[in-house]
Chains A and B, each alone.
Chain A
Amino acid sequence: MNKNNLKGFEFFRGLVAILIAIAVAFIFIFICADDPAQALSCLLIKPIISNGALNVKSILTILGRTTPTIFTGLAVCVMFSADQFNLGGEGVTMLGGFIAVLLGIYLPMAAGVHAAVAIIISAIAGGAVMLIPALVKVKLKSSEMVTSLMLNYIILYVVLHFLNNTFADRTKGSTQTYEFLETAKVGTVVQGTELTYGFFIALIATVIIAIFMYRTRWGYAIRMIGINGQFAQYSGLKVGTIIIASQIIGGVLSGMGGAIECLGRYTTFRWLELPGYGWTGVTVAILAKNNPIFVPLAALFIAYLNRGCELMAIYAGVPAEMLDIIQAIIFLFFAAEQFLSKTRQKLVVKEAKQEISAKADVKGENA
C-alpha cells in the first residue's frame, strides 16, 4: 500500500477505535443514567459549549489539564521508542512534585528563578531515579518493567513517610505540607481556570522532544533500537548507553511534569496516592503512536473526555470513572496491529488489482 493510503487507513482505524469506545460509553450511559440525553450532552458537548455559547473557562481548563499528561506521554514515547517498557512514570511524577514543593517551601529565592530551579532539580531527580531500572536492564539484563513497577511503590511509600513524619503541616485536618512560597508558583494564565504557564512549557518540551527524536543522531539511534535492536547493535551503536539515555530522558520529563503540576495547580503537596498521570501517559503515547508531535493532541483528547466525564458525574449522576473504561477500550484497539487487518488486506488487493489493470491498459495501448 502506498504511503498516503497507509496513513489514511491508520486514521480510519483510529477513528473506528474511538467510535467503538464511544458506542460502549453510550450503552453504559443508557443503562445507568436517569436522563441519558443530559448525560450524553455533558460528555460530548458541555465541555466546550454551555448555554449555547462557547465555554471559554472550561476549554482553558481542558487545555490546562493536558499539562502533566503531555509530559508523561512524551516520557513514554521516548522510552517505548527504544523498546523500553519502563512504567515508572507514575512514581517519578509523584517524586518530582514532592521535591518541587519542598524546594518551594524551604529554599527561598527570587520570583521566577525559584520556580525554574525547583522544576529543574525535580527533573534531575526524576532522571536520577530512572537510572535504577535503566542500569539494572543494561548491566544485569533484568526486566526494567518489573523494576520500574516496584519503584513506583517504593517512591510512594518513601514520599508518604517524609510527608507524614517530617514535612506535614499539623495545623491542617488533612495530610499535606506547608504552603510553598509565592515565588515558586507556576502562574495561572487566566484566573479561575486550570490553565497555567506550565502548558506552554509542555508545548515547548513537545517541540524539543520531536526535534530530538526525528532530527538528531541520538533520537535516530533510540528509534533504531526500537525498530531493530540487533541491527542497531551490529551497526555499531552503543545500545546500552542509548537505552540508559532514553530512560533518563523519560525520568526527566516525568519529574518535570510532576513539579509543574504541583507548583501550578496546588499550593501544597497533597498527593496521598500515586497520581495516575503515568498510566494516562501510556495511553497518550499509544494514541500518538509514539510520535511526540501528536502527544499534545492525544492529551487533549483524553483531557476532553476527562472533563466530559466529570461534568457527567456532576449533572447526570454517572460516575466519572467511566473514563477509565473508555480509555482502556480506545487504548486496546489503537495498539492492536491486526485490528481491521481484513479491511487493510482488501485495500491492498484492490490497489494491486488497479495497478495490474493500469499496466495491462498501457500494454494494450502499446500493442
Chain B
Amino acid sequence: MLNQLTSMIFTTSFGYSVIRITAPILFAALASVVAEKAGVVNIGLEGIMMFSSLFGVLFAYWTNSWLVGVIGALVIGAIFGLIIGVFALKLKTNIVLAGTAINIAGSGGTIFLLYMFTGLRGNTANLTTPQMLIPRINIPLIKSIPVIGPIFSGHSVLTYIAFILVAVVWVLLYKTPLGLRIRAVGENPNAADSVGVSVLKTQYIAIMLSGALAGLGGAFMSMYYSQSWNTGITAGRGFIAMAAQAMGQCEPVGTMLSSLLFGFASALGNKMEGLPGFSSYLVASIPYIVTVIGLAIYAVTQLKKARKRGQ
C-alpha cells in the first residue's frame, strides 16, 4: 500500500498537478495577505471568486477572447472588493459581515446572474470554445530537462502568473511606498494617520487589490481548471486561502508554502480516490485538519515568544 502511494507521489504528473491545484488557492491567499496587511479582513474571497469566475467566462464568451475574460474577472474582483470596502469603511458594516454577505450572494446569485445573462442553468459547458480557455505555454529550455520539464513546463499562463505574483506582492509590500503605507495602516492606523497617510484611501486600495487577485483566482478556476463555470466551482477555496494566509503568517512566501501544502494534500486526495482502503472523503478533509493544527502550533509558538518577552 505504502509502496503504491510513494510510487504515485514520485511521478512528474503528480508534481504537475500539485502546482496546478495550488495556483487558484495561491491567488486567493495572496489576496488575503494584501487585505490583512492593511488591517482589513477579506472573508469575502469565496464569493468574489464565484462572481469573477462566472464573469470571466461570460466576458470571454462575448468577445471570444480569453484575455478579455481574465481582465474582466480581475475588474469584477476589484469591484466586489470595492463593494466590501464601501460597506465596511464608509457605512461601517462589520467587515466580517460584509464579506459574509458577498459570500452568500456569490453562492446562489451567480446561478441567477448566469440565467439572466445567458438563459443557461447551472453551468457554461455549452459556451466553451478553445479561444476562451487560458492557453498553456511550454517554457523553451526547461521543457527539455528531464523530470523538471514535465513538472514545471506546460502550465497555463495564469499558473505562472500566480507564482510570479508572490514576488510581486512581496516587492509591493516591502519595497514600495504604497506597501509601506499598507503595512503602516495595518499595524497602527492612528500612527499612520498622524504622519499624513490616508488610512481610508490605503484600505480602499488594499481591499480592491485583494479583490482583483481573488478575481484572477476565479478566472483560473473557470477558464482553465474546470474549463467552464459551474455551481460551487470554488468549493471553499476562498476559505482555504484565508487559512493558508494565517498559516503562512501573512507573508507572501510563507503563504505560498502553505498553499503548496494544500495543493499537495488535494493532489494526494485526487490520486487516492480510486485506491481500495483509502477514503477519498477523509483524505479531502486533511488540508482543513492540517490548517487547524498548523494554526494552533503557530499560536502556541507566538504565545511562548510573548511570555519570554514578558519575563
**A interface list, Cβ under 8 A from B:** 28, 31-32, 85, 87, 132, 136, 140-143, 145-147, 149-154, 156-158, 160-161, 164-165, 273, 276, 279, 282-283, 286, 318-325, 327-329, 331-332, 335-339
Contacts and interface: CB of A to CB of B under 8 A. Distances in A.
B91 A339 contact: yes
Contact of B98 (A143, A276, A335): A335
Contacts of A164: 279, 281
Interface residues of B, number: 48
B139 interface: no
A146 B285 contact: no
A279 B285 contact: no
Given A157-B282, A338-B91, A282 B112 contact: no
A153 B281 CA distance: 10
B295 A319 contact: no
Contact of A327 (B43, B104, B115): B104
B170 interface: no
Contacts of A141: 299, 302-303
7 contacts: A136-B292, A161-B282, A319-B112, A321-B108, A323-B108, A325-B112, A335-B97
B226 interface: no
B112 A321 contact: yes
B96 interface: yes
Contact of B108 (A283, A286, A325, A336): A325
Contact of B239 (A28, A140, A143, A149): A149
A142 B112 contact: no
B152 interface: no
Contacts of A143: 246, 295
Interface of B: 43, 87, 90-94, 96-98, 100-112, 115-116, 121, 232, 236, 239, 242-243, 246, 279, 281-282, 284-285, 288-289, 291-292, 295-296, 298-300, 302-303
A146 B93 CA distance: 20
Contacts, number: 145
Contacts of B108: 320-325
Given A143-B246, A157-B282, A158-B281, A337 B97 contact: no
A85 B103 contact: no
Contacts of A332: 87, 93, 97-98, 101
Contacts of B279: 161, 164-165
B292 A132 contact: yes
B100, B107, B239, B295: most-surrounded residue (chain A CB, <10 A) = B100
A147 B107 CA distance: 21
A164 B283 CA distance: 14
A328 B102 contact: yes
Contacts of A140: 296, 299-300, 303
A279 B281 contact: no
Contacts of B97: 282, 286, 331-332, 335
B292 A154 contact: yes
Nearest to A161: B281
Given A279-B100, A331-B97, A322 B292 contact: no
A150 B96 contact: no
Contact of B296 (A136, A320, A327): A136
Given A28-B116, A141-B299, A328-B104, 18 more contacts: A145-B96, A146-B246, A149-B239, A153-B236, A154-B285, A154-B292, A161-B279, A161-B282, A282-B97, A283-B104, A319-B115, A324-B104, A324-B105, A325-B108, A328-B102, A328-B109, A329-B105, A332-B98
Contacts of B94: 335
A178 B80 CA distance: 44
A319 B103 contact: no
Nearest to A285: B97
Contacts of A160: 281
Given A157-B285, A325-B105, A146 B295 contact: yes
